[in-house]
């Protein structure tokens, strides 16, 4: 960890805490053997004893712990400020929450990572690459006409492995490999983009909890962890669809036939026809973090011929009907208490399979089928 102090008023203090270093100290104290390389633990003698130790970190009294560092970093605080009532208000400037998946060998992980890297860059759309590198785009998601920056995608094989990162504004989720460890990590810089069930600030303990935006204060550290773990899980589920051995025909059969839902007829999807643009839009990796809204998909489909001549209100209605169609086929679900949607497990599997098949050559498909 590190402690940095601003030496002029208002004497801000910045504290960085490394959870994996903390965990290593916990394991040493508990007498649990482990192998560590850098900031990753590659092997543990007793996995069942490790996770509870990591969970203990979330039960920390953060204010008391952080307050204990103030006299060390600022020993003259009382004489400099001459006020016994002053105290620090602790906020989380940036949080990183990682899920480490340990494989028996690096070879087992390399195959999965190679597939993940290939999938991340399927299509090579410039607007998608701009999102990877947090570059601004137009409202419809396309590259700005005054952009002079060349777009370049590089996949480098080095000792540490590969890294794929998806941005949603100032928040991101990434995956990278080192040795036999695959790490999925969510970084939150703007907590207000997420919601969690909590009481209103200053409310009594028996007050009801409601879905409210996350706050920067350390009081919401546990909520941050839960939100971040949900994001990690969704990306891990997305990776799992790339390892599915279900035939593409079986996957498409579920959505390419007409069905009845709640007493009404639901048309079949055309994944390689008129619905391809819609499926490509909802599969964009940037929606892995916080889901997507009507306006996100409208902007993504702004160049589609069916949308181009419509008014904004008409485009909104078309997108709403498209969402209902996708929900009827079980491909997306609505997030509670919000206007955001996410791909279901079946939806992730279907769009991944279709986009991967369309990006493959006939030779590759023939070789796989054989």
On whether both 238 and 96 belong to a single domain, the answer is: yes
Each residue's pLDDT tens digit, 241-250: 666 666 777 7
Q: What phi, psi does 212 have (nearest 5°)? A: -130, 160
On whether both 230 and 277 belong to a single domain, the answer is: no
Specify the pTM.
0.67
On whether both 294 and 230 belong to a single domain, the answer is: no
Long-range own/partner contacts, residues 110-118 (CB < 8 A, 24 or more apart): 110/161, 110/177, 112/182, 112/239, 112/242, 112/243, 113/161, 113/162, 113/177, 113/182, 114/162, 115/242, 115/243, 116/162, 116/164, 116/175, 116/239, 116/242, 117/155, 117/162, 117/164
Query: Count of domains in the chain?
Result: 3
pLDDT at site 92? 95
Which of 75, 90, 105 is the last residue in one of the domains?
Answer: 90
Using the predicted structure, report yes or no on whether residue 256 has a pLDDT greater than 70.
Answer: yes
**Nearest C-alpha neighbor of 350 from the set 260, 282, 259, 266:** 282
On whether both 16 and 81 belong to a single domain, the answer is: yes
Each residue's pLDDT tens digit, 83-93: 777 889 999 99
Which of 69, 90, 111 is the last residue in one of the domains?
Answer: 90
**DSSP code at position 57:** G
Which structural domain range is residue 360 located in? Answer: 248-369
Mean pLDDT is lowest, of 40-54, 107-121, 166-180, 313-327, for 107-121
pLDDT at site 155? 44
On whether both 167 and 264 belong to a single domain, the answer is: no
On whether both 280 and 213 belong to a single domain, the answer is: no
Q: What percent of the chain has pLDDT over 70?
A: 81
Which of 243, 262, 290 is the last residue in one of the domains?
Answer: 243
On whether both 109 and 185 belong to a single domain, the answer is: yes
If you average pLDDT over residues 156-176, what whole number do you get?
Answer: 74
On whether both 192 and 267 belong to a single domain, the answer is: no
Is residue 367 exposed (0-12), middle (13-18) or buried (19+ Cβ within 10 Å)? Answer: exposed
d(CA 182, CA 107): 12
Element (H, E) at 187: strand 181-188
On whether both 47 and 17 belong to a single domain, the answer is: yes
On whether both 108 and 229 belong to a single domain, the answer is: yes
d(CA 260, CA 239): 31
């Amino acid at each position: 960890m590190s402690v940095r102090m601003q030496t002029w008023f208002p004497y801000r203090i910045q504290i960085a805490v490394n959870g994996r270093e903390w965990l290593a100290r916990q394991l040493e104290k508990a007498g649990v053997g482990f192998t560590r390389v850098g900031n990753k633990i590659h092997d543990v003698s007793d996995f069942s004893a490790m996770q509870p130790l990591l969970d203990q970190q979330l039960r920390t009294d953060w204010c008391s712990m952080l307050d204990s560092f103030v006299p060390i970093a600022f020993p003259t605080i009382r004489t400099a400020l001459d006020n016994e009532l002053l105290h620090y208000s602790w906020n989380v400037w940036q949080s990183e929450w990682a899920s480490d998946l340990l494989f028996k060998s690096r070879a087992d992980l390399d195959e999965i990572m190679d597939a993940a890297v290939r999938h991340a860059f399927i299509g090579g759309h410039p607007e998608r690459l701009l999102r990877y590198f947090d570059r601004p785009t137009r409202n419809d998601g396309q590259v700005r006409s005054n952009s002079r920056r060349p777009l370049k995608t590089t996949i480098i094989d080095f000792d540490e492995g590969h890294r794929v990162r998806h941005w949603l504004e100032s928040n991101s989720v990434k995956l990278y490999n080192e040795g036999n460890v695959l790490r999925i990590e969510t970084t939150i810089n703007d907590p207000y983009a997420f919601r969690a069930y909590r009481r209103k600030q200053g409310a009594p303990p028996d007050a009801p909890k409601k879905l409210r935006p996350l706050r920067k204060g350390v009081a919401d550290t546990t909520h941050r962890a839960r939100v971040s773990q949900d994001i990690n899980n969704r990306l891990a589920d997305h990776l799992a669809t790339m390892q599915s051995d279900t035939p593409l025909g079986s996957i498409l059969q579920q959505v390419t036939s007409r069905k009845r839902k709640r007493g009404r007829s639901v048309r079949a999807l055309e994944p390689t026809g008129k619905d391809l643009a819609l499926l490509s839009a909802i599969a964009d990796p940037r929606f892995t973090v916080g889901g997507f809204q009507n306006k996100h998909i409208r902007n993504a489909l702004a160049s589609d011929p069916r949308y181009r001549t419509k008014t904004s209100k008409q485009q909104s209605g078309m997108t709403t009907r498209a969402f209902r169609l996708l929900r009827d086929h079980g491909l997306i679900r609505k997030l509670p208490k919000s206007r955001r949607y996410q791909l279901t497990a079946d939806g992730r599997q279907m769009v991944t399979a279709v986009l991967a098949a369309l990006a493959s050559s006939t030779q590759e498909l023939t070789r796989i089928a054989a």
